[in-house]
Structures are given as C-alpha cells and as structure tokens.
C-alpha cells in the first residue's frame, strides 16, 4: 500500500482506532473521509482536523449502504482505500440470553454484514482506480476468543476468513486486501479507555502506521502485542493462551 496520496474512507472514524487511523493517515498526505452513525462525533473529529471530510452511515442498514456508496462515488470519485473499521462489542451471557437475540444480531449486522455489504457496494469504484486497497479491521480475539463476548469474537473470526477469500479472488487485480489485527487497546470499546492493561492507543497507532509504511506492506498488520493471540494455534499453545485470557478476570479481561 502506498502510504500517501490516497483518498481513504474509514468507517467508525469518529472515535477510537478509527479516528486515530484517520488522523495519522491524513497527516501523511491523504484525503481522509470518515463515516459513522454518530454525527456529533464525526463533526468534532473533522473540526479538529481541517481538511478531513465526513459522511453519516448506519452500517446496519443495507439500503443506507447502497445509497451511501452512490454518494461516495459521486463526491469522492478517486476513492482508492476502504478501511472497514466500524464495530461494536457487547458482553453476552449465553445462559441468560434474551429471546430476540438483539445484541447478537446487532453485532453481526455491524461487524460482519456491514463490511461485507460496504465492500460489495464500493468494489466497482475501487477497481476503477489504478491501484486500490481494502483493509479490514479484525481483532486478536478472532484467533483466541474472549468467552465473555462470544458473538464479537465470532464476527471478527468470520471477517478474517472473508478477508482471506477476498484477497484470493482479487489476486490478479490491482486491488490489494490487508487485515489489521488489533490487541486490547485503550479505547471506549467495552470501556477500555482507562484500563492500564490495554495497549495505549497512541503506541498502537504508531506501531501500526510503521507496519503500513513497510514495502511490500504485510498482508496482516500485527503489532507485537497481539502476536501471542494471532499465532497461539500455530505456536501450539492455544489452550494455555485461551485459559489465561479467560481466567484473568470474571469478565475475561
């Protein structure tokens, strides 16, 4: 991936890792467009970063995604990087789950169906560019699940698998497919912003951007702190890592 001179769309760009990536990538000389549900957060982010643009998007709404893609193609015809970052994470007690499975369905719609639908809607535009990149943000929990958040883990594992298939199907094209695999980072996701056990967001972003600058860019962007989860199965210590992750605290953290 060329790290500068792009037109980049980042979902979930109003806070957390999404906002951090947006600010870092804009500073490197890219036109950045952020998208999300919370207009106030988007407005605050672009106000703090002159030149950044925003569009509102309810990633759970399939019809909204279609109209959104049409608007993106009209307003940002040079779009060549899509970062599927938007996601939600909620604890679930599978022994006392609500009958309508509202939390599980919302997580699936946001974390799994959202990126798949948005990628499908924007892929024709991306493929028109001389070079383009799709980046899916997954999680270390795609590889070693936190039992406290079962549907979140499952959606991230599914997006990892989807990313592999998408990359293979686009292997003969000029569109590359990357995966960012964060560890536990200090963000508002699951109220981790002040948790000293989480990786500081500033440190995470700095290491991630350095990996994105690498040529050729690695297919998987894994900071050192997430490698224990990402490669637990390959390293033959999955059971130990799983037990350690899930017995550290009642909530699994």
Q: Which residues are catalytic?
A: 152
Closest CA to 185 of 235, 253, 92, 238: 253
Residue for token digits 């990786």?
199
Contacts of 90 (CB under 8 A, 6+ apart): 103, 106, 107, 149, 151, 152, 190
Q: Mapped to the 3 state alphabet, what secondary structure does the chain carry?
A: CCCCCCEEEEECCCCHHHHHHHHHHHHCCCEEEEEECCHHHHHHHHHHCCCCEEEECCCCCHHHHHHHHHHHHHHCCCCCEEEECCCCCCCCCCCCCCCCCHHHHHHHHHHHHHHHHHHHHHHHHHHHCCCEEEEEECCHHHCCCCCCCHHHHHHHHHHHHHHHHHHHHCCCCCEEEEEECCCCECCCHHHCCCCCCCECHHHHHHHHHHHHHCCCCCCEECCHHHHHHHCCCCCCCHHHHHHHHHHCCCCCC
- Give the residues across from 176 on adjacent strands: 133
């Amino acid at each position: 991936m060329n790290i500068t001179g792009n037109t980049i769309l980042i979902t979930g760009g109003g806070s957390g890792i999404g906002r951090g990536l947006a600010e870092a990538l804009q500073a490197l000389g890219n036109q950045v467009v952020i998208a999300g549900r919370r207009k106030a957060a988007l407005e605050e982010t672009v106000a703090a970063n002159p030149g950044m643009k925003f569009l509102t998007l309810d990633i759970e709404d399939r019809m909204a995604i279609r109209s959104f893609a049409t608007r993106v193609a009209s307003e940002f015809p040079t779009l060549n990087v899509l970062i599927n970052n938007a996601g939600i994470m909620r604890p679930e007690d599978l022994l006392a789950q609500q009958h309508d499975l509202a939390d599980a369905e919302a997580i699936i719609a946001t974390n799994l169906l959202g990126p798949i639908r948005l990628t499908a809607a924007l892929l024709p535009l991306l493929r028109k560019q001389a070079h383009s990149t799709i980046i899916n943000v997954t999680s270390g929990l795609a590889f070693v699940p936190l039992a406290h958040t079962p549907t979140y883990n499952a959606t991230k594992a599914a997006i990892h698998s989807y990313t592999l298939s998408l990359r293979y199907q686009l292997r003969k094209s000029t569109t590359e497919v990357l995966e960012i695999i964060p560890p536990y980072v200090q963000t508002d996701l699951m109220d981790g912003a002040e948790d000293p056990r989480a990786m500081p967001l500033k440190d995470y972003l700095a290491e991630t951007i350095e990996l994105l600058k690498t040529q050729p860019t690695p297919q998987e962007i894994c900071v050192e702190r997430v490698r224990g989860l990402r490669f637990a199965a390959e390293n033959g210590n999955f059971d130990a890592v799983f037990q350690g992750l899930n017995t550290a605290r009642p909530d699994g953290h």
